[in-house]
Amino acid sequence: MSTAPRPLATPLLTYSLVAVCAAVFFLLQARDPQWTVIGALWPLGEYFKPWQLLSYAFLHGGVSHLVFNMLGLYMFGGDIERVLGTRRFALLYFTSVLTAAIAQLAVNAVTASDIPTVGASGGLFGLLLVFALLFPQRKMILLILPIPMPAWLFVTLYAGVELYMGVTGTMQGVAHFAHLGGLLGGGLMWLIWRVEFERRRRR
């Protein structure tokens, strides 16, 4: 696929997302945590509101949840934004957030769950997929298997672990299918850009 002709020196959107998520977390902790309930992604029903399809990604359930997601966003988002540019990076991230939300709503409907979802993990998983496609040989380490491996293998194994945990119900309280939905969003954007690039190349 095509890349930005002049890579960005500073990935401003990546840094801005990290800053906004951190600011929202600490403001809600200091003022009114009730806003977390309003902005979380609730299953379809009485408490669901359309804005929750995006707002949930700016909310986090604890400091460790926030730190893990923001560290991943900082580590992978910067390189992606430098290559793709800010506009495509924004499309990639928020499409992944949206597809993650849709996947989670579908799972909630099937399982009759009434538990809300928060966190930027869906967007992060979309970034992970595209990172692996852009930098397939970049060395990464899976926490449960501390062995350096190429990015393409890291993401493949991680997706497999998420699918296994989601199907078996391992690690309750983690939105495994939302993570997989984020991966799907990243893949969809990549395919769209590939088709766009091929059309331009043939002209």
What is the pLDDT tens value at each position of the chain, 203 positions in all? 444 445 666 899 999 999 999 999 998 877 766 777 889 999 999 899 999 999 999 999 889 999 999 999 999 999 999 999 999 999 999 999 999 999 999 999 998 889 999 999 999 999 999 999 999 999 887 666 678 889 999 899 889 989 999 888 777 778 999 999 999 999 999 999 988 877 776 76
Structure tokens at 6: 């002049």
Distance (Å, rounded) from C-alpha 161 to C-alpha 15?
29
Tell me what pLDDT residue 9 has. Answer: 64
Give the number of other Cβ atoms within 10 Å of residue 85's Cβ. 19
Q: What is the dihedral of CA 13, 85, 64, 145, to 10 degrees?
A: -170
Q: How far apart are CA 83 and CA 49, in angstroms?
A: 34
For the chain, the DSSP string reads: ----SS--SS-HHHHHHHHHHHHHHHHHHHS-THHHHHHSBPPSSTT--TTHHHHGGG--SSHHHHHHHHHHHHHHHHHHHHHH-HHHHHHHHHHHHHHHHHHHHHHHHHHT----B--SHHHHHHHHHHHHHHSTT-EEEETTEEEEEEHHHHHHHHHHHHHHHHHHT-STTS-HHHHHHHHHHHHHHHHHHHHHHHHHHH-
Taking only the tens place, the pLDDT of each residue in 34-88 is 777 889 999 999 899 999 999 999 999 889 999 999 999 999 999 999 999 999 9
Q: How far apart are CA 86 and CA 81, in angstroms?
A: 6
**For 12-202, CATH number?**
1.20.1540.10
